[in-house]
Amino acid sequence: MSLTNDYIKQRLVEKFGEALTSFEESFDVLTFTAPAALNLKVMQFLYDDEELQFRFLTDLTAVHYPHLPDAELAVVYHLYNFREKVRLRMKIFVPVAAPQVFTATKLFESANWMERETYDFFGVDFVGHPNLKRILNVDEMTYFPMRKEFPLEDQSRIDKDDEMFGR
Amino acid sequence: MARPVQHNTKVKMVEMPKGYSGEGFFATSFDKVIGLARKNSIWPLPFATSCCGIEFMATAAAHYDLARFGAERMAFTPRQCDLLMVMGTIAKKMGPVLRQVYLQMAEPRWVIAVGACASSGGVFDTYSVLQGIDQIIPVDVYVPGCPPRPEAILDGFMKIQELVGQESLRRRHSEKYKELLNGYGIQ
């Protein structure tokens, strides 16, 4: 029996009921939104279930939506079932003022790097991560560069010599 | 019948510095002799991080032949090198590494910034890229281009040779030079 998106959705709704919202399919990948507090429970269910078997974390990243009040930061999980070759996308939304999300490192070792990277660029605070510090940017950086809160061209910058490299 | 191996008979020698000569002696100043020796035996340290590095490989290979300038001896230890050739984008995270390499070089040392990125950050006008290596180390010659052709790199190299050949032996001990280094936080 092949695993269909309808069946996955049915199983998720049976288990979590109204908690999961915004079910949709884009490019044949089932996508849904979960409450931030439930992210680990949903992933653990998807992992443990004998039929679903989503046991590989393909990707983990964040998106900044400045226009959504109290849900500015979306953390996106891409899960994969190797046996059935089925993908799944889960989103959780947290306010940018309190971006606390439970870490997935206990479930997937690969989340360690990706959560550090997501913290580095978006400032998502992964609660329980064993080593949450910057990974790609310089340690001295005081901001989260991929958040959409910066003007395209920062006129106050002093590290670009306007006299020689006029802009 | 012509010999199968042709020898190059058009070998160019560097010109003798000005001085006084007589039978059995030649007198000139240390500045000129040491400058002459230094400029024709520069040991480059290639610090290549991107496409300018590829152009440098062409520069060092047979067609453009950096060896013609006495610089065929690339060394990958900063302690023995005279010329730091920075070729490519230097991310801010790479900055301390580059600086450490510069600090490990013995005096006298020269630096050439090859390409737009090393000189000014180039097209990478962004939070993660150093906007020119002269923010962390002093630079003697800038080579423009994105990437510069090997001819341009050779031109920059010859500019360095001019600087090396004409440098006063006292320059590295001067107050002005110390000020320059202090400006970069180097003692």
Amino acid at B186: I
Return the percentage of chain A with pLDDT > 90, whole number: 74
Q: In this predicted complex, what is the ipTM?
A: 0.74
Closest-CA distance of chain B to residue A166, Å: 11
Contact yes or no for A160 and B135 at CB 8 A = no
Q: How confident is the model at residue A156 (pLDDT cuts 50, 70, 90)?
A: low
Contact yes or no for B120 and A165 at CB 8 A = yes
Q: What is the per-residue pLDDT for A163?
A: 63
- Domain ranges for chain B: 35-163+174-183
* CB < 8 Å to A136, chain B: 93, 128
Contact yes or no for A137 and B92 at CB 8 A = yes
- Domain ranges for chain A: 5-150
Q: Which residue of A has its CA nearest to B119?
A: A165
Two structure tokens written together for B109? 């040392």
CA geometry: angle at B131 spanning B126 and B134, to 5°?
170
* CB < 8 Å to B142, chain A: none
Q: How confident is the model at residue A160 (pLDDT cuts 50, 70, 90)?
A: low
CATH fold label, B35-163+174-183: Rossmann fold (3.40.50)
B100 burial type by CB count under 10 A (0-12 exposed, 13-18 middle, 19+ buried): exposed
Written as tens digits, the pLDDT of chain B (187 aa) is 677 888 878 888 888 888 999 999 999 999 899 999 999 999 999 999 999 999 999 999 999 999 989 898 898 899 999 999 999 999 999 999 999 999 999 989 999 999 999 998 888 888 899 989 999 999 999 999 999 999 999 999 999 999 999 998 889 999 999 999 999 988 7
Q: What is the per-residue pLDDT for A161?
A: 63
Contact yes or no for A137 and B120 at CB 8 A = no
Contact yes or no for A161 and B128 at CB 8 A = no
Long-range contacts of A67-75 (CB under 8 A, 24+ apart): A68/A93, A70/A95, A71/A95, A72/A96, A73/A99, A73/A122, A73/A123, A73/A124, A75/A36, A75/A39, A75/A101, A75/A118, A75/A124
Measured CB to CB, residues of chain A less than 8 Å from chain B are 136-138, 141, 145, 159-161, 164-165, 167
Place of tokens 């590295």: B172
Q: What is the per-residue pLDDT for A157?
A: 63
Please determine, for residue A1, whether its predicted confidence score (pLDDT) is greater than 60. no
The closest CB to that of B93, out of A138, A160, A164, belongs to: A138
CATH 3.40.50.720 fits A5-150, yes or no: no
Q: What is the per-residue pLDDT for A149?
A: 85
* CB < 8 Å to B117, chain A: none
Please determine, for residue A97, whether its predicted confidence score (pLDDT) is greater than 80. yes
* CB < 8 Å to B131, chain A: 159-161
User: Looking at the DSSP assignment, which residues form a beta bridge with residue B25?
Assistant: B22
Two structure tokens written together for B22? 């007589």
The closest CB to that of B127, out of A145, A161, A167, belongs to: A145
Pick the more confident residue, A1 or B137.
B137
